[in-house]
Structure 1
Amino acid sequence: MNPSKIETSELLCKIKVESQVRLPSISMVFVAALFLSSIVIFLISSAGNALSLNYYEKTCPDVDSIVTNAVNKAMMKDRKVPAALLRMHFHDCFIRGCDASVLLNSKGNNKAEKDGPPNASLHAFYVIDNAKKEVEDSCPGVVSCADILALAARDAVAFSGGPTWDVPKGRKDGRTSKASETTQLPSPTFNIYQLQQSFSQRGLSMDDVVALLGGHTLGFSHCSSFQSRIRNFNATHDIDPSMHPSFAASLRSVCPKTNMAKNAGTTMDHSPTTFDNTYFKLILQKKVLFSSDQALLSAPKTRDLVTKFASSKATFTKAFASSMIKLSSITGGQEVRKDCRVVN
């Protein structure tokens, strides 16, 4: 068995939060999908080194505090930073594993991930740059940009009132970043089956799907991500019938049909800078922006989890932390970059 898989399993037993594990009833088709996805994850993980909580214990013991201070400093100036860092880490891990490929700049004829359409609104890269500079000053050539991003995402959630967790470390930075591969990212228009397929290909369960989509409690969305739900939905309905009519009306005023401003949009929930379970409550009220989030009510298992998380923030945050560790343990990469924006 892959050593990284063994160590990650051990780490999941040591984390501060308890994983809420439930075995779903699944079809043989999904079993096959899980089998294939486990092969994909095995291949990705084998490209990187095993992760460990004490990976930098001797080589860079202060890395956690250095990154935490950098995130805190940025957040004090811009409350949008936590949502940006969490989204950045998620988008990184879904393409080639958590290898900081999302941080690389485009060069020559190669258009990098950060310039792909789904990543056009990513921001706060400077936070990772600042953290990397301070880490390099303390322990040069030791800590990967991928580990810094994983730590920053954890701190972003914690500083926003969410859970904290011990981040396994030892990721390596990738040397490849292609905008064309960002089509692999889950779309805000996905239905429940597309979500299941996308996440299972990365070794993530439907429990992980619901928990990780809860990260939408932070941040802002542009109209382009939900415009299709509020106008000309289909031949029968102008508005998506799964959306509450009054909520759709409010969105139509925010996103006018013509002359829509480039940055027009709205916050993901009523408390966009606080990590809480409000978004799950809004799903039950049919007042969320993305059809992919509303789709969680279309299957019994995911609907039950939405109801469970809506009724208990503690239950949600424990599940979220466990799923984040699982997501961020998908490794890949070959080096420790000196500059997070360029390969060595």
Structure 2
Amino acid sequence: MPQIEVGGAQPYTVTVAAGALARASVPESRVALIVDAGLPAGWVERAQTVFRPELTVQVPSGDACKTFEVLGGVLSRLAQANLPRDGAVIGLGGGATTDLAGFAAASYLRGVAYYSVPTTLLGMVDAAVGGKTGINLPEGKNLVGAFWPPRAVWCDPELLASLPPAVFREGAAEAYKHGLISDPSLLDRVLSPEFRPGQPDFAETLTDAIAVKAGVVSRDLTETGERAFLNFGHTLAHAIEAATQHSISHGDAVGYGMHYAALLSRELGGNDLTPYTRRFLNWQRPKALPPLKFSELNGYMARDKKADSQGVRFVLLHDLARPYLARVPEDLLGTTFDVWQSDVSSPILS
């Protein structure tokens, strides 16, 4: 089966193959399975057959699970089951579910083994790989969490076959982002009709997209350097998610955020990459945005994880595969926001 090795102090393997879930195994004898309540019953039953958990905990779908209340409930269930230190937590679901399950594993008994089985494209390409776990606050997305790498990740493309088209397209944002910041060959491949579960080249493109993130986090787990580049488009995206109470999905928000970052990059002297981000938005067809004010979004952006004592830093691009971090004057953020808002409000983006 195709495998991607993620290096660093705690190396692990990401397996990408049809039937990967059926062939998964863990050495721990006592495990808890954390599952997205919206998953088809058959997927949960398959995971239960493979891992034989003594405890299965359902959590709300999407970002509704990334709260202190849900986290506390999961931790209490683990304690009530007396899951031991040499036990394990397995997350089965989309990116929000794996974020929560990983943080529960990092927190319970100060850390137990964690394994990830992402069931969405976004989860496979982004959330399940890299060891970032956490929950949200009303003040912003992913402001509480821990770096807690999984022991293994199983990405089974068969789990993507029944995803609604809109959910698949929103998940493609992270794969397209990897093309912009690192591997431009992904740009055409992600938007190709062949990039669909069941198509001959799908698993190869999925593997290459995951490999971009795996390579970065192998070199920089805790985001002291280049890992920040994976947040291209995310500064505005996370602000949109928070300001809309997550009515705009993460992938759709990233699609919008990448276009804003491309506009900023152009304003600061980079090559004009907005045709790429416009093309992606036309393909993705994200959910329409409600009315948004720069003053509100700017407040959320100020709390972005890339911010430091000197202010907010944006991931921008000199050109394809040439990312960099920059501080952007607030007046330029505002004028570019007006241009961006006009673009994304148009019926046809290109």
Which TM bucket (shorter chain)? under 0.3
Q: Relative to total residues, which structure has the larger helix share, 1 or 2?
A: 1
> 1 or 2 for the larger relative contact order (CA 8 Å, sep ≥6)?
1
Q: Relative to total residues, which structure has the larger strand share, 1 or 2?
A: 2
